[in-house]
């Protein structure tokens, strides 16, 4: 016996032969024959075989095919409304989207007489609970801009105005 558990003829049990090559042959279904999970079930494939076909991309996973990406920032960038990206293209599209945030930081710095001190992009990965494939689940951009002029809500000479008012309304009636 190869790679399995077999029982001798005791009662209702019969000898089981398990061949690793037979299992591999049943999973290696031509890509053009099976496209959906329902077709795989109709052909009599087991759940393990279907999961293996999903993991290799021969069957499209319903979770991966309906996954949508949306930007939650208040900047004018792509993905303001939720849209689908194929799992194969998600990495490049998310990186390009996060680079839009970096470009916006450089524009903002140039408009305010500032300098981008740091800009970093993090790409997040997750694992699909249905098919087990890893996918790009999103990204985060961190930027730090240094401005040459202090941006005071009171104007350029706001600090001197405030210092002139310190103690002006002090009333000691003790």
- CB-based contact 126:134 (threshold 8 Å): yes
Cα(144)–Cα(39) distance, integer angstroms = 52
Radius of gyration, CA atoms only, the chain: 31
pLDDT of residue 17: 35
Residue 88's pLDDT is 86
* Per-residue pLDDT at 99: 93
Q: Are 40 and 65 in contact (CB under 8 A)?
A: no
Collect all residues with Cβ–Cβ distance below 8 Å to 10 and sequence separation of at least 6: none
| 3-state secondary structure (DSSP) of residue 102 | helix
pLDDT per residue, tens digit, the chain (174 aa), is: 444 443 333 333 333 333 333 334 444 545 457 777 888 888 888 888 888 888 887 888 888 888 999 988 888 888 888 989 988 899 999 999 999 999 999 999 999 888 999 999 999 999 998 888 899 999 999 999 998 866 566 665 556 666 666 655 666 665
Question: What pLDDT does residue 4 have?
Answer: 43
| Cα 139 to Cα 122: distance, rounded to the nearest angstrom | 5
Per-residue burial over 42-75, b if 16 or more Cβ lie within 10 Å, else e, is eeebeeebbbbbbeeebbbbeebeebebebeeee
Taken as a whole, the chain contains a residue count of 174
Measured between alpha carbons, how far is 128 from 63 in angstroms, rounded to an integer? 7
Tokens standing for 115? 């300098």
DSSP state of 88: T
């Amino acid at each position: 016996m190869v790679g399995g558990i077999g029982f001798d003829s005791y009662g209702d049990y019969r000898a089981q032969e398990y061949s690793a090559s037979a299992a591999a042959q049943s999973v290696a279904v031509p890509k053009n024959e099976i496209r959906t999970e329902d077709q795989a079930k109709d052909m009599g494939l087991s759940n393990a075989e279907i999961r293996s076909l999903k993991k290799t991309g021969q069957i499209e996973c319903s979770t991966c095919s309906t996954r949508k990406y949306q930007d939650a920032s208040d900047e004018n960038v792509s993905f303001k409304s939720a849209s689908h990206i194929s799992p194969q293209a998600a990495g490049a599209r998310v990186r390009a989207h996060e680079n839009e945030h970096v470009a916006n930081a450089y524009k903002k710095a140039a408009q305010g007489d500032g300098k981008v001190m740091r800009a970093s992009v993090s790409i997040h990965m997750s694992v699909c609970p249905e098919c087990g494939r890893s996918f790009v689940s999103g990204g985060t951009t961190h930027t730090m801009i240094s401005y040459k002029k202090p941006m005071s809500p009171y104007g350029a000479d706001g600090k001197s105005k405030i210092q002139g008012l310190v103690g002006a309304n002090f009333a000691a009636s003790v």
